[in-house]
Structure 1
Amino acid sequence: MHQYLRVVSLVKKRGSKRAQELGRQVHSFLVRQGIKVIEETVPKDCDLVIVLGGDGTLLHIAESAYRADAPILGVNLGGLGYLTEIQIEEIEKVIMSAIRGVADLEKRMLLKVEVLDSECKSCATYCVLNEVAILRGSYGKVINIPTWAEGAFLTTYRGDGLIISTPTGSTAYNLSAGGPILHPRMEAMILTPVCPFALSARPIILPADSELEVCMEGFGSEGGVGASAQSPPFYVEIDGKLVHGVKSKYKLVVKRAPGHLKLISSPSSGYFKILREKLGWAGHLHQSDP
């Protein structure tokens, strides 16, 4: 039998005794299969990343797995589990299917976010699985976010912020802000304003090959009193992590990242079953799953 796994990265949720104990068991199981195990980092020759934790743990390692072109097997030890959908009792079965090269893979679109300074010089580049969010700071003032799509001016969002999401991230911050749910295999970008000043501001879905340019303009005409360098009018988060050093007049260029991130699917839980369970839809009361 041809073995498809030679090197596996094992990533555990920090501070979780449950993840640490399970990690020891998974590590031993992999070694018995003749597989080299690297913990907490993703080497370039990695064949698979096993995540023991919740969606936050998976998001933390997603960019490294994407750059190594290694599929992620996410084991749900958290509360949500939109991304980490493998159950503990399925681990050995799913790992063996990956070893044989027959595991079910889903390809997920990512975004590439480039930060440009006030002179349009590139400062940093990030890969995004869920979303990039531009949010107002601690002053509670309306911020202006001029936005261009495909080279044409779209609008200036005014309010508490703007979320640019992938279909995978549509059930994350986007959903909390009133944005639509998209099937994660779709190819699209979602722009969702956060508490917009104008009631006419609504989420919009754009083609995956769109290129967006978003300007951090800062406070609108109503705000700005008391603003200081210590408390900027806005901040930027990428997959829930704060991006440091972004200032007024900086821009974000957002486009689709090349390729995909690959996730191993659970053999027992389909996407719609996960939606019903996580969102508490009444449909979960009907025993209609095949």
Structure 2
Amino acid sequence: MPATPDMQKTIALVVRPNTSGIDVPVRQLVDYLQHAGYRVVLEAGTAEHLAVDGIEAMSAADLGAAAYAVVVMGGDGTMLGIARQLAPYNVPLIGINLGRLGFMTDIPVERMIPALADILGGKARADKRTLLEGCVKRGGETIHCGLAVNDVVVARGAGAGMVELKVTVDGNFMYNQRSDGLIIATPTGSTAYALSAGGPLLHPSLQGVVLVPIAPHALSNRPIVVPDSSSITVEIVAGRDISVNFDMQTFASLMHGDQIVISRSPYNMTFLHPEGWTYYDTLREKLHWNEYPAGDSRPK
């Protein structure tokens, strides 16, 4: 939707709760944006835990309709939560890192003012990402649906034995898998749980979805990347205490015969980065690809 003049003046702020010392950088950010002529609003949950006088609070739905951009101060978990809520509105997101890793909230807090000045001044790199949506079907009826920025994970409960899953792609039988579970991840999620389970990195521009088994019984059961136009169905064949997780949102009590049908969401999300940002810079910084053993003379 084209931005109206009013929307171009509105910047929304989402801040991770219970963050020590956050008041000072938030005040600095609000002061900068207001002095630059922007209207600043707070996401409703942020307003509940953050005391900033004279700033209007809005629900996520209202933010999506009103904001030109949303600045997220926190870690990747904070970004995941708000990104799912704002996905239908196609409002761009700018991430200020207050977490430990920060694949999505990539701007260091000490550089937030100059970075924002560049981004809001038009010196920005837009980074569009796909999402997944999944629905749990039982007896032919849909009983739950969820949206995922990173991944959809079907997994056994703590202390339970292996699960058996039947996986089909576009109606074609792929395999029956015995494992601790299965991760179905976007390119964004390929650097998260899927990576720790042995999956590949997918560049964000790739139109793919990666399926990564968690501790499979058969060592020949390897990760596979399928087109993101695929419809993936995961059926619960055997096991107990099985749940499906859409990023951080869990639906428990899956039963034998339940099917989780996963496909690309019609929504996208857009991150705004400072001009000159590249995905490879993020990989080097976050995964420490540029580090060598002590005494190694190669350039860092």
The corresponding residue for 2:243 is: 235
Matched-pair contact (CA < 8 Å) for 1:4–1:98: no
Distance 1:68 1:135, change over 3 A: same
Matched-pair contact (CA < 8 Å) for 1:74–1:85: yes
Distance 1:120 1:9, change over 3 A: farther
What are the equivalent positions in structure 2 for 1:177-192 lying under 5 Å apart?
177-192=197-212
The corresponding residue for 2:19 is: 16
The normalised TM-score by structure 1 is 0.86
The one-letter code matched in structure 1 to 2:143 is C
Residues in 2 aligned to 1:277 and 1:102: alpha-carbon distance in whole angstroms: 22
What are the equivalent positions in structure 2 for 1:83-122 lying under 5 Å apart?
83-116=104-137, 118-122=138-142
Matched-pair contact (CA < 8 Å) for 1:112–1:255: yes
What are the equivalent positions in structure 2 for 1:78-227 lying under 5 Å apart?
78-116=99-137, 118-219=138-239
Residues in 2 aligned to 1:114 and 1:240: alpha-carbon distance in whole angstroms: 15
Matched-pair contact (CA < 8 Å) for 2:74–2:105: yes
Q: Work out whether 1:279 is the aligned partner of 2:279.
A: no
Distance 1:128 1:15, change over 3 A: same
State the shift of 1:110 in Å.
1.1
Residues 18-60 of structure 1: per-residue CA shift (max 9 Å, x gap):
3343222212222223322221243222211111111111111
- Would you say how many aligned residue pairs link Structure 1 and Structure 2? 274
* SS of 1:193 mapped into structure 2: strand
Residues in 1 aligned to 2:299 and 2:70: alpha-carbon distance in whole angstroms: 34
The one-letter code matched in structure 2 to 1:160 is D
State the shift of 1:151 in Å.
1.0
* SS of 1:278 mapped into structure 2: helix
* SS of 1:216 mapped into structure 2: strand
State the shift of 1:109 in Å.
1.2
Residues in 2 aligned to 1:141 and 1:66: alpha-carbon distance in whole angstroms: 36
- Structure 1, unaligned runs of 5 or more: 220-231
* SS of 1:192 mapped into structure 2: strand
Residues in 2 aligned to 1:34 and 1:248: alpha-carbon distance in whole angstroms: 57
Select the residue among 23, 36, 40 that pairs with 2:39: 36
Residues in 2 aligned to 1:165 and 1:215: alpha-carbon distance in whole angstroms: 17
Matched-pair contact (CA < 8 Å) for 2:125–2:276: no
RMSD: 2.2
* SS of 1:249 mapped into structure 2: coil
Residues 55-112 of structure 1: per-residue CA shift (max 9 Å, x gap):
1111111112222211110011111111111122332233334433442110011111
- Structure 2, unaligned runs of 5 or more: 44-58
Residues 115-174 of structure 1: per-residue CA shift (max 9 Å, x gap):
22x222122332211101111112330101111101111111211000000011101000
Select the residue among 49, 66, 89 that pairs with 1:45: 66
Structure 1 vs Structure 2: percent identity of aligned residues? 32
